[in-house]
Amino acid sequence: MSPDINDLAEALTLDSQAAIGIPIALVGAVMLSIGTQLQHRGVTKVEASRGSSDSGLSMGSTWALVRQPTWLLGTITLGLAIVVQLAALWFAPLIVVQPLGAVALVVTAILNSRLSKTPLDGATIRAILLCVGGVGAFVLVAAFFATVHPVKEQQLATVLIILSAVLAIWGVLFAIFRKRASPLFYILAAGSIYGFVATLAKVIMGRIQTLIASEFQFGPAEWLTIGCLAALIVAAIIGMYFVQSAHANGPPDLVVAGLTVVDPIVAVTIGIVVLGEASNAPWWAMILFLITGAVAVFGVFQLARHHPHMQDSDAIADEIEQRLER
């Protein structure tokens, strides 16, 4: 083989760690779909009993959620999904794991079709194929070329600064538009914030792995790591509030679709630009990232638009709840 072909063959070697992370992330995506539907059902039950609000969840509704069994079951399921996703992030780069969350919307469409006995139409099937094909191709390219680098102090500081700016912007927008905010507003806010939650989790894991490799030689970066952990907790709480407000004002389709589009876009962008996970990818791989990512995003939007979940969300969530409780 020529030197160029040899170089290409050497580059196209699937990292064993990434190969482990991919199926783990797929399991997390399934759990995300189920947990989101259950949470939506719990929120709608609380809002129906207390009266719906166009300005996000009230404090009384928030406390009522904690005592709502369906919402609690969904929250536990989502909590387990987060644990599974963290396990996937331990093994694989951020740009490999996060796009696989789009599988949650595909699972939602197929699951709801089966439970509601509503066949998937041609538009829905085409959207599923676009979504699966785009995400699969993106993750395949990323799995071959993505590289995890040791996380440095400058990268930790950059992520914290960007997150602070994002939280400040959404805080100002929330204060201005709270009385007339749409579900899309809440899910865009939640998706962008959750993208940072995943990124913070990855950089914290990166620092832990670096510490293990250095036999726990602590340095100044560890104070920034502690700051990232605190920021992760704050961002997760704020993001959860926005998600529950989206549930209270819109269908779970929007929640799943928004999180599977906005969250990965934010996380992948940071993974490439700040963490340098695609620094070893050739130029044509970057073009493939753009094309396959655009196909996946288009498929997700088409799936959210066409699949039959809109008419049967309450009955479907009840059916899922009953099956999980057995």
pLDDT of 117:
73
- Tell me the pTM: 0.74
d(CA 160, CA 4): 40
Domain boundaries, the chain: 8-325
- List Cβ neighbours of 170 (8 Å cut-off, separation of 6 or more): 189, 192, 193, 238, 242
C-alpha dist (Å) from residue 100 to 105, 211, 302: 10, 28, 17
d(CA 169, CA 163): 10
Q: What is the pLDDT of residues 291-324, one digit of tens each?
A: 988 888 888 777 767 655 444 445 555 555 555 5
Place of tokens 């009230």: 58
**Helix extents (H) in 148-220:** 153-177, 183-213
Mean pLDDT of the chain: 78
Q: What is the pLDDT of residues 148-180, one digit of tens each?
A: 777 788 888 898 999 999 999 999 999 888 777
